[in-house]
């Protein structure tokens, strides 16, 4: 990776932050959360085209997308119930990597089945960008791509394995990023394969 293609300042990759036992414990916690807030398939605003990944949320607020647009709301779009709380292990992660930031209010859960991906995008539906975005990978390895804060610029790619953590802070907070592909069979963590991505965000101004 050349210096020109390095991710923006404020990007951190923490390989193997969660070891296998902690990954397994986190998956069990998520399994209980998804029982109360099952995965749903969001659609794109205006067009109604379905996403390729299913998702859910934990925390006081959850990110959703439907024909009306992108937004955060306190309840599950299908069940109407409040989202389950953010797992304690993720709150401790946030305190470790973002000790000066206000507490996270949303934990987006994305499930990537084999063959799914996510195009380059910015996380910009929040009312504040002062806190970082903190991401956890569980399951199959993914090819992650990150660019700058303008669409169409140079990008770099790297592999994110199960247990890896990525922090998008500073200039990287609004960097374009996405998932090019899932490397099927690279992890035995999830019974049915695939990848779970957990994304912690602060939504409102403190």
Please indicate, yes or no, if residue 189 is contained in any of the structural domains: yes
Tokens 């569980």 map to which residue? 138
63 in a domain, yes or no?
A: yes
Task: Please indicate, yes or no, if residue 181 is contained in any of the structural domains.
Answer: yes
Q: pLDDT tens across 21-45, in order? A: 999 999 999 999 999 999 999 999 9
Please say whether the beta carbons of 117 and 180 come within 8 A. Answer: yes
Q: What is the percent of the chain where pLDDT is above 90?
A: 91
**What is the pLDDT, as a whole number, of residue 5?**
58
102 within domain boundaries: yes
Instruction: For residue 206, tell me if it sits in a domain.
Output: no
Question: How far apart are the C-alpha atoms of 157 and 144, rounded to whole Å?
Answer: 5
Q: What pLDDT is attached to residue 7?
A: 82
What's the whole-model pTM score?
Answer: 0.93
pLDDT tens digit string along 66-88?
999 999 999 999 999 999 999 99
Domains identified in the chain, total number = 1
For 198, counting Cβ atoms within 10 Å of its Cβ (0-12 exposed, 13-18 middle, 19+ buried), the class is buried
Task: Provide the CATH number for the domain around residue 72.
Answer: 2.60.120.590
Closest listed residue to residue 67, CA positions, set 38, 41, 43: 43
Nearest CA among 101, 92, 72, 81 for reference residue 29 = 92
Domain that holds residue 59: 3-201
Query: pLDDT tens for residues 90-116?
Result: 999 999 999 999 999 999 999 999 889
- Classify residue 136 as exposed, middle or buried by CB count within 10 Å of its CB (0-12, 13-18, 19+): buried
CA distance 35 to 30: 9
Q: Are 104 and 91 in contact (CB under 8 A)?
A: yes
Q: In the 8-state DSSP scheme, what is residue 110?
A: E
Q: What is the mean pLDDT of residues 162-183?
A: 96
What pLDDT does residue 3 have?
Answer: 43
Confidence category of residue 8, pLDDT binned at 50, 70, 90: confident
In a domain, 44, yes or no: yes
Q: Which helix (H) or strand (E) holds 24?
A: helix 20-36
Asked, for residue 196, whether it belongs to a domain, the answer is yes
> Has residue 180 been placed in a domain?
yes
Measured distance CA(26)–CA(34) in Å, rounded? 12
pLDDT tens per residue, range 148-167: 998 888 999 999 999 999 99
Q: What is the mean pLDDT of the chain?
A: 94
In the beta sheet, which residues pair with residue 135?
A: 166, 199
Name beta bridge partners: 56.
109
């Amino acid at each position: 990776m050349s210096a020109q293609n390095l991710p923006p300042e404020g990007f951190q990759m923490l390989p193997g932050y969660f070891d296998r036992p902690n990954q397994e414990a986190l998956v069990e916690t998520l399994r209980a959360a998804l029982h109360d807030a099952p995965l749903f398939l969001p659609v794109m605003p205006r067009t109604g085209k379905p996403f390729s990944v299913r998702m859910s949320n934990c925390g006081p607020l959850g990110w959703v997308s439907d024909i009306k647009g992108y937004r955060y709301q306190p309840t599950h779009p299908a069940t109407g119930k409040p989202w389950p709380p953010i797992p304690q292990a993720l709150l401790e992660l946030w305190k470790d990597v973002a000790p000066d930031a206000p507490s996270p209010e949303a934990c987006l859960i994305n499930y990537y089945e084999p063959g799914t991906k996510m195009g380059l995008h910015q996380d910009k539906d929040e009312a504040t960008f002062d806190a970082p975005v903190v991401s956890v990978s569980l399951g199959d390895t993914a090819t992650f791509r990150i660019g700058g804060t303008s669409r169409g610029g140079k990008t770099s790619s790297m592999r994110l394995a199960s247990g890896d953590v990525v922090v998008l802070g500073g200039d990287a907070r609004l960097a374009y990023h996405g998932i090019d592909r899932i490397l099927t069979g690279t992890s035995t963590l999830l019974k049915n394969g695939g990848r779970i991505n957990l994304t912690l965000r602060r939504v409102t101004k403190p």
